[in-house]
Amino acid sequence: MTLLAILLGTLLAGVGSVWLAALLSFGALGRYTQHMLSMAAGALMATAFMHLLPEAFESGLEAHDLFMVLLIGVVFFFLLDKAELWHHGHEHHYGTDHGGEAHLHGHTHAQGAPAGHDHSHDEQAQGPKGGSWAVLAGDSVHCFGDGVLIASAFVADLRLGAIAALAVLAHEVPHHMGDLMVLRAGTSNKRVALIKVSLAGAVTALGGMLGYWLVDGLHDYLPYFLVVASSSFIYVALADLIPQLQKRLSASQTAAQIAWLGAGIVLVTFMSSLGGHAH
């Protein structure tokens, strides 16, 4: 039962997020992108602070040790992000949206290209054609890690696993939107770009299968896996999503942004209450 739940959850998170990203990137839902970013940020923070971390701390392990893992996890994901920015920046793997904003491996930089890089017309003309497979390879590795994190949550509790899968889906949507933009700039065929990114997203299921056997054999370390998952969600929400929302907006736009952020928190809380506590 748990293995089947992991398979379904990882496919929903991995492939489902790609198709939702395609709807937002290519379809009529594009104007709701900022609302989705707000809701994703709220959902990620609620999942980490209200579900995964409490579950880990209920294990009885020393709070100091778990907080240390949380700190190391956040720093690790920061360094991982830095490595991606450095690599793709120097390789000029940029894509552009219709507004001319730069996308760097799924991260939408509303303020333009990272400091220190000259986002010239020559670089835009060079495009990401030579870097599409590098983007897909990086995305596959990231999705594999997401699968392991989802599996660890499912092993702890089916309810937690379902919440973690939806949280991963939420935070992968903006990443996959960037990937689709990068591949779209290298080919005129939207379907080919969608298939390639969908295959990368499907790697989440492989991570889930391995994660099931790994976590099941190392059950005593499960709280640490949950804390690492939390550090990933917290970092993505605070470093990737919320900075994109920090723009000068009208009062009504700001209110809508806050409402969607709250909706993400309420959604995760509501889902948790439906499942109840299994232990």
The per-residue pLDDT for 8 is: 94
DSSP string for residues in 116-152: T----HHHHHH-STTTHHHHHHHHHHHHHHHHHHHHH
More confident residue, 209 or 113: 209
Q: Which residues contact 146 (CB under 8 A, 6 or more apart)?
A: 10, 13, 14, 168, 172, 204, 207
Chain Cα centroid distance, residue 33 = 15
- Residue 86 pLDDT exceeds 80: no
pLDDT range class, residue 119, cuts 50, 70, 90: very low
Residue 16 near residue 197, CB atoms below 8 Å:
no
Please indicate, yes or no, whether the overall pTM of this predicted structure exceeds 0.85: no
The per-residue pLDDT for 112 is: 33
The per-residue pLDDT for 30 is: 59
pLDDT range class, residue 78, cuts 50, 70, 90: confident
Q: Could you report the per-residue pLDDT of 34-74, keeping only the tens digit for each?
A: 777 788 788 888 888 988 898 889 888 899 999 999 999 99
The per-residue pLDDT for 151 is: 92
Q: Could you report the per-residue pLDDT of 148-195, keeping only the tens digit for each?
A: 889 989 988 898 899 889 888 887 887 787 677 767 766 657 888 888
More confident residue, 235 or 120: 235
More confident residue, 96 or 208: 208
Give the three-class secondary structure for 49.
helix
Separation of alpha carbons 279 and 277, rounded Å:
6
Mean per-residue pLDDT of the chain: 76
pLDDT range class, residue 206, cuts 50, 70, 90: very high
Q: Could you report the per-residue pLDDT of 14-24, keeping only the tens digit for each?
A: 999 999 888 87
Percentage of the chain beyond pLDDT 70 is 72
Amino acid (1-letter code) at residue 86: W
Give 276's DSSP letter: -
Residue 148 near residue 214, CB atoms below 8 Å:
yes
Q: At CA 233, angle to CA 227 and CA 234, rounded to 5?
A: 85
The per-residue pLDDT for 135 is: 64
pLDDT range class, residue 203, cuts 50, 70, 90: very high
The per-residue pLDDT for 85 is: 64
Q: At CA 165, angle to CA 159 and CA 170, rounded to 5?
A: 130
Q: Between β-strands 107-109 and 95-96, what pairing exists: parallel, antiparallel or unpaired?
A: unpaired
The per-residue pLDDT for 70 is: 95
More confident residue, 7 or 236: 7
Most trustworthy range by pLDDT among 57-66, 94-103, 182-191, 217-226: 57-66
pLDDT range class, residue 139, cuts 50, 70, 90: confident
Tokens of 38: 């707000």
Give the residue from 103, 55, 90 showing the smallest Cα distance to 230: 55
pLDDT range class, residue 141, cuts 50, 70, 90: confident
Give the containing element (helix H, strand E) for 187.
none
